[in-house]
């Protein structure tokens, strides 16, 4: 199968940090279709040779195991081409059309690795140049809009020139191997389904923590914040994967229908729940891993008076028979104590205790997404007999490390998703009605904050966020993993 992958923003941060390394890994693994062409698009005035050298130099920042040898890169570079293009010039898009017609590839992928406010302009210019053919696919990066209205505007514009099956709204968390194994664990095994419900689960916690700050993305992040950047997409997609009903098959729409049902079942916000069940924070100066870290308002590109949140913690419920009464907790933030993403499923205690056990101990399933990738099942086993208390249970755990188990067979998130786009597989991409349901649910939070003069709660860099986050979960009698 022949393909052309046209990468708008071909010299940008996302291209060289994520997309080019992922495409190279697919090339190295032999999974990238051999008859392919990757065309970088930007306003820079570069030849093909100069573009290839630019990409070569960027691989010095990639982890050692994923760097190409000089010979490997030379072979990969044969796929790389460059076209100078100004998004406001229709004649440049006509030149792109001429370039693509040179060989009539089976599939043409338009990857918009640009600022979201440029999506509409690119889509209109593509249609004007006749590049919205049946073999065209378009990839849209998040955040898709900044609220429900802007999201609808973008989706309407794209659907006006392309069909839904040609639109790939990417959320790279859905491509992570651990998330794929979450689906496999739930729907490929009979072990968990009988206990995956309110009768056996007390609460579920989703944490996406970063130890980095805004870094060089300050200008972008200050307009976005943690709610738009992480909760509306990544965190809610993880919640859907955890809570959805088994789909009737593994087809894309069957999976996305079930995720949509979860989003529509989330408890609507009220003034009381917005005050009690949502916490926003912003990091101040502190110490991260023993090194001083500046405050968010001191980051380049950030307003000194910014009220943009760098931390969000919230509690929600799913109003259906499976999950009624089970709280779901989400927290995400920058400049936290460590970089980790994990899901913790806490099971209820046994109905009648016949052994002595440490206070608060219970079974739990921990799904690690980063930096480790694997599962831990925490159980209670019989330890040494205590003369005073008799038989005493001791916490133990079973640990499955996917990286160790599968080694080099592991496929990274962007690698998997890019290959799926080329192959036309939509299972791991988000449908427009999913996005709208997610925006509809977070909008009351955004509106509440816009009218709240208190602003975000401060927390020192290198901690786990504002103390109000711990107080929120403690009111239900639970605690975050590092506090239990």
Give CA–CA dist 85/107, Å, rounded: 21
First to last CA, the chain: 53
Q: Are 26 and 418 in contact (CB under 8 A)?
A: yes
86 marked ligand binding residue: yes
210 marked ligand binding residue: yes
Active site residue 234: yes
Q: Are 97 and 130 in contact (CB under 8 A)?
A: yes
Q: 197: which 2 tokens?
A: 């419900």
172 marked ligand binding residue: yes
Buried b (16+ CB within 10 A) or exposed e, 122-147: bbbbbbebebbeeebbbbbbbbbbbb
Looking at 234, 356, 378, 397, which residue is catalytic?
234
404 marked ligand binding residue: no
Strand 311-316 vs strand 278-284: parallel, antiparallel, or unpaired?
Answer: antiparallel
Q: What is the dihedral of CA 375, 376, 379, 383, to 10 degrees?
A: 140
Count the alpha carbons within 13 Å of 414 in the hemisphere toward its beta carbon: 16
253 marked ligand binding residue: no
Residue 444 CA, chain-centre distance (Å), reads 22
43 marked ligand binding residue: yes
223 marked ligand binding residue: no
61 marked ligand binding residue: no
Q: Are 361 and 395 in contact (CB under 8 A)?
A: yes
334 marked ligand binding residue: yes
Residue numbers belonging to the annotated binding site for NADP(+): 43, 86-87, 142
Residue numbers belonging to the annotated binding site for substrate: 172, 176, 210, 229, 334
Q: Which residue numbers are catalytic?
A: 234
Residue numbers belonging to the annotated binding site: 43, 86-87, 142, 172, 176, 210, 229, 334
């Amino acid at each position: 199968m022949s393909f052309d992958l046209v990468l708008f923003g071909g010299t940008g941060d996302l291209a060289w940090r994520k997309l080019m390394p992922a495409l190279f890994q697919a090339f190295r693994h032999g999974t990238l279709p051999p008859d392919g062409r990757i065309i970088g698009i930007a306003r820079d005035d570069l030849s093909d040779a100069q573009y290839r050298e630019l990409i070569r130099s960027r691989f010095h920042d990639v982890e050692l195991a994923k760097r190409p040898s000089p010979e490997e890169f030379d072979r990969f570079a044969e796929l790389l081409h460059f076209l100078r293009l100004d998004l406001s010039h229709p004649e440049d898009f006509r030149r792109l059309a001429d370039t693509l017609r040179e060989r009539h590839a089976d599939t043409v992928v338009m990857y918009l690795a640009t600022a979201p406010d440029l999506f509409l302009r690119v889509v209109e210019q593509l249609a004007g140049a006749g590049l919205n053919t049946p073999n065209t696919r378009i990839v849209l990066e998040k955040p898709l809009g900044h609220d429900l209205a802007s999201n609808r505007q973008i989706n309407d514009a794209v659907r006006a020139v392309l069909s839904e099956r040609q639109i790939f709204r990417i959320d790279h968390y859905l491509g992570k191997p651990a998330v794929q194994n979450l689906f496999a664990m739930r729907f490929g095994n009979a072990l968990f389904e009988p206990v995956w419900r309110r009768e056996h689960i007390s609460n579920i916690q989703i944490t996406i923590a970063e130890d980095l700050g805004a870094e060089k993305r300050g200008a972008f992040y200050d307009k976005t914040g943690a709610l738009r950047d992480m909760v509306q997409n990544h965190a809610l997609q993880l919640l859907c994967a955890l809570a959805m009903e088994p789909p009737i098959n593994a087809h894309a729409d069957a999976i996305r229908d079930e995720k949509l049902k979860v989003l529509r079942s989330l408890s609507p916000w009220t003034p009381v729940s917005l005050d009690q069940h949502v916490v926003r924070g912003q990091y101040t100066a502190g110490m991260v891993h023993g090194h001083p870290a500046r405050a968010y308002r001191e980051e380049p590109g950030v307003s000194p008076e910014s009220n943009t949140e760098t931390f969000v913690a919230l509690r929600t419920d799913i109003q259906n028979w499976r999950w009624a009464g089970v709280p779901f907790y989400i927290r995400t933030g920058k400049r936290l104590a460590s970089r980790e993403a994990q899901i913790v499923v806490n099971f209820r205690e046994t109905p009648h205790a016949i052994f002595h056990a440490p206070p608060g101990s219970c079974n739990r399933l921990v799904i690690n997404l980063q930096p480790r990738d694997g599962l831990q099942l925490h159980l209670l086993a019989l330890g040494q007999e205590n003369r005073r208390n008799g038989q005493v249970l001791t916490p133990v755990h079973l640990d499955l490390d996917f990286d160790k188990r599968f080694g080099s067979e592991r496929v990274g998130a962007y690698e998997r998703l890019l290959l799926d786009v080329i192959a036309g597989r939509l299972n791991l991409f988000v449908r427009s009605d999913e996005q709208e349901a997610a925006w509809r649910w977070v909008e009351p939070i955004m509106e509440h904050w816009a009218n709240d003069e208190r602003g975000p709660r401060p927390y020192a860099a290198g901690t786990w966020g504002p103390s109000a986050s711990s107080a929120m979960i403690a009111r239900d009698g639970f605690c975050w993993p590092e506090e239990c």
